[in-house]
Structures are given as structure tokens and as C-alpha cells.
Amino acid sequence: MRTILLIDDDEACRIPAAELLRRDHWNVIEAEDGGSGLDLAVKSRPDVILCDLLMPRVNGYQVCRAVREHLELRHTKIIVVTGRDYASDRKSAEEAGADGYIVKPLEIPKLKELLDRLLPAQTSEPDVPKPVTSNGAEPDATILRFWGVRGSIPSPGQPTVFFGGNTSCVELRTNGQIVILDAGSGIRPLGLSLVEEFPNDPLDLTLLITHTHWDHIQGFPFFSPAYDSRNRIRIYGYEGAMAGLRSTLAGQMESPYFPVALSEMPGNLHIVELREMSFNVNGIKVDSCFTNHPGVCVAFKLHTPDGTVVYMPDNETKRSSSRQESADKILTDFVRGADVLIMDSQYTSDEYQTHIGWGHGCIDEVVRMAIATNVKRLYTFHHDPAHDDRCVSGMLMHARQMAEAAGSSLIIEAAREGMEVSLKSGAVATR
Ligand SMILES: [Zn+2]
Ligand SMILES: [Zn+2]
């Protein structure tokens, strides 16, 4: 049975319409204002929302825009209902994301005709969610999810509850693949979520490790899929300054640090030490580039069908000495034109003055670099463990002001645990 949500403060219109639709075998839910309508929409994910245009507090245009920003409501159709028939209202509703427009009084045959037009594909299998591949990715969408956004050490607690306290871990679903970027403590909740999503399917996963500093590998011993012998996990990374990737990953799991050795994990781990700066992950082209960071640390650039994603969690962006300028020239060329740049922005410019040479980014320099290289979306990342939510928000506002002052169209967000981004539509949702 398909679900329709009616949002209208005018009961005289809403209640009879609900009754007629119920008789026509719709599951009907009702809200009498835009705010509660939006809450219901997120909760019940209706096939269609029928929304009045002029309501107090949250009007129909706002409802349309808010629905369109929710990734989980991307399949929901919106029909605007209004007592006025102005061409400009129609156009505004369309621009706000409405799929249809009906002038009151609401005539059910007219509405049904419109519903048939908007939902032709869903009439045969209304309750079946969009199919996913065995790897879990919708074949036609590239999705980015942030599971850990913090630098250096996990920092849970009330002050960081909004942006999150887990260390580096980002999931990318593209081209039928699940690619994981780094294995900080955020990989633990990612693993639990994958097991819940695919209780019966074997998982085929790729993990790319930028470097073996602890905040980028510490979650791996707690990654549930690595304990299931049906799964296959390929781990790619570069040999470090002191030891190879395998021995460093194994080192953190040696007794007395951990009770299970890396070699005893049953999840079919294939560790690949990379030599080249370009490689392929099941059809996804990946480039890497060394960053300004102690030891051997890289950034990855993934070429997805929906654009390029550059992941550079640890990097010090400088522009002082000539030697550094040449190092940064390679990095600026690497990020140039990226659709998404996830980048170390750990310090404010004041803090950076006392942290020069620590290997982490200053947000002002990161924003300048992203603007100069025509990046489309910047996600500030590797938040300092001492920065509470207020501080990270303040840095984000500052970064946005910089972009605005420069007349740039760069979109800036502070990466947040639970944030989900569709590369195709730019829609942002929260798990
Ligand atoms: Zn780090
Ligand atoms: Zn590091």
C-alpha cells in the first residue's frame, strides 16, 4: 500500500480528501502544519506529499525545499495544493522542488490522474525499496558518509556530541563498491552498521589507508566484518617510514596490546602495499599524492561517475619558504577542480602559529587553497580533539565568510559524524 502525507492547516479541505484517498486504498497520514508535516515525512517516508502552499510558520515552499534536502526522501513526490492560481507561484513551487501543482477545490479524479503520472514505476511494486547490489551501493548514486571526523585521539562527550568524537573514517559507495577511507575509531560503528544492513550477504570491501598514525588505524581491531570468514577485505596503503603496512597494522594487535592477532582475523584480509601513485579499485581509478605530514602519508583522489573526491585528512598547508611552495604546488595541482575535498583543517590561524611543523592544516590556508583551485565542496576534517562543537561551528562560519568575501561559490561544511552526502544531487542527510 502506498503512503500519502497530507499537510494542510485547513481541515475542511484536508479531512474529506483524506477520507476519499483512504477509500481509494491509500495509507493516509495527516499533519496540520508544515513543521509537524516535515517530522512525519522523515519518519514515515511517504510516496507522495500533498502540501498546502500558504500555512502559518512553515509554508509549502519551505516544506518543498526541506524535503528536497533530505536524501532519504529523494523518491518522495511533492504535490502543492493552493487556492490561488498565479503563474509566479507555480514557478516558485517548481523551483522549490514540487513535482505537481493543483488548484483548490481538490478534485480527486484530477489528483489521481496526476498521481498516476508521477508514480508510474511504483504501481507494480510499491513497497519494495530501491534495489542494492550485493555490495550495498545503489548502482546509480555515489554516496559519502562520515563515520569519524576527529584528529589525533577520539574525543567523545557532551562538548563534541554534534560533530562527533570518533577518529578518521569515511565511507564511499560508488559504482557498486563500498570503499572505506581510513580505519580510525569511526570504522567500528561503520562495521556494525554494515553487519546490520547485510546480515546474510558476504561483504566485499576495500579499505584505503592514508598512513599508519594511530588515529587512522586504531579502529580496525574492532571492525566486525573482519571477523566473518565469508567476507573479503582488501587493504591498500604505502610502506611507512619505519615499517611496512602489514607489520604496522599487526603491531597494534600484538599481545599485550590486543587479544587477537591480525593474522587470526578470519575475514580474508588482503593487504596490498602500493608502489604506484595511481591504481584501480574494481574499476574505480584512484590517484595518490604525498602530503606535508610526518612519516609517509598520502591523500587519495577517487574518480567516481559522479565526480572526484579528494580525501586529505592529514596535511599542513603552508606557503612560506620556497621549498614548501614547490611541495604545495603538487598538492594544489592534485586537488584542482575536485568536486569534493575532505581536508585537514585542524587549527585556527592563531593556533597554527604555535603549531607550525606539526603536520596539520590551518583553516584559512585550506579555504584559500580550495578557492584558488576551484574546488566545488570543501569538508573541513580532522577536527582538533580540544575543539568543542561551538569552536568547530565558529571555524566553519569563519571559513564561509572568507569564501563569501572572496566572491567564491565554494560550498563549505564541517564534516560531521553521521553526515551523508549524495554526490549526484548534493543533497545532505543525517543518519
Ligand atoms: Zn591524523
Ligand atoms: Zn597523522
Average pLDDT, the chain: 89
Find the 291 Cα to ligand 2 centroid distance in Å: 10
Find the 382 Cα to ligand 1 centroid distance in Å: 7
Give the phi and the psi of residue 309 in degrees, each rounded to 5.
-120, 120
Residue ranges with CB less than 5 Å from ion ligand 1: 151, 215, 314
Find the 314 Cα to ligand 2 centroid distance in Å: 5
List the single range of 5-14, 81-90, 281-290 with lowest mean pLDDT. 81-90
In which band, very low, low, confident or very high, does the pLDDT at 128 lie, cut at 50, 70 and 90? very low
> Which-ligand-closest: CA of 313?
1
* Cβ contact 295:257 at 8 Å: no
How distant, in Å, are the alpha carbons of 213, 218, 221, 430 from that of 252?
Answer: 11, 8, 8, 32
Single-letter code of the amino acid located at 384: D
DSSP state letters, 299-340: EEEEEETTEEEEEE-S-----SSHHHHHHHHHHHHHHTT-SE
Could you report the per-residue pLDDT of 380-423, keeping only the tens digit for each?
Answer: 999 999 999 999 999 999 999 999 999 999 999 999 999 999 99
Could you report the per-residue pLDDT of 174-183, keeping only the tens digit for each?
Answer: 988 999 999 9
DSSP helix, strand, coil percent of the chain (3-state; round to 5): 30, 25, 40
DSSP state of 214: G
In which band, very low, low, confident or very high, does the pLDDT at 120 lie, cut at 50, 70 and 90? low
Find the 328 Cα to ligand 2 centroid distance in Å: 18
Residue 315, all three cell numbers: 596535511
Find the 345 Cα to ligand 1 centroid distance in Å: 11
List the single range of 73-87, 196-210, 281-295 with lowest mean pLDDT. 73-87
Find the 211 Cα to ligand 2 centroid distance in Å: 7
d(CA 334, CA 228): 37
Could you report the per-residue pLDDT of 77-89, keeping only the tens digit for each?
Answer: 999 998 878 888 8
Q: Would you say residue 273 has pLDDT above 80?
A: yes
Tell me, what's the pLDDT at 127? 37
Q: Please name the residues in contact with 158: beta carbons below 8 A apart, sequence gap of 6 or more.
A: none
Give the mean pLDDT of 291-308: 94
In which band, very low, low, confident or very high, does the pLDDT at 135 lie, cut at 50, 70 and 90? very low
d(CA 316, CA 196): 38
Find the 215 Cα to ligand 1 centroid distance in Å: 5
Q: Please name the residues in contact with 44: beta carbons below 8 A apart, sequence gap of 6 or more.
A: 3, 5, 29
Could you report the per-residue pLDDT of 19-76, keeping only the tens digit for each?
Answer: 888 888 889 999 999 999 999 998 888 999 999 988 888 889 889 988 888 777 888 9
Tell me, what's the pLDDT at 133? 41
Find the 293 Cα to ligand 1 centroid distance in Å: 9
The SS3 assignment for 210 reads coil
Find the 298 Cα to ligand 2 centroid distance in Å: 10
Find the 276 Cα to ligand 2 centroid distance in Å: 21
How distant, in Å, are the alpha carbons of 16, 185, 191, 419 from that of 157?
Answer: 49, 15, 21, 18
| % of the chain exceeding 90 in pLDDT | 66
d(CA 33, CA 6): 10
Residue in this structure with the C-alpha cell 602519508, named with its chain if needed: 297
Q: Would you say residue 222 has pLDDT above 90?
A: yes
| Most confident of the ranges 86-95, 134-143, 299-308, 315-324 | 299-308
d(CA 142, CA 161): 27
Tell me, what's the pLDDT at 54? 86
Tell me, what's the pLDDT at 430? 65
With both helix axes pointing from N to C terminus, report the angle between 389-405 and 363-372 in degrees, rounded to the nearest 10.
Answer: 40
Q: Would you say residue 285 has pLDDT above 70?
A: yes
Could you report the per-residue pLDDT of 326-356, keeping only the tens digit for each?
Answer: 558 899 999 999 999 999 999 999 999 999 9
Find the 210 Cα to ligand 1 centroid distance in Å: 9
Residue in this structure with the C-alpha cell 552498521, named with its chain if needed: 193
Find the 271 Cα to ligand 1 centroid distance in Å: 21
Find the 300 Cα to ligand 1 centroid distance in Å: 14
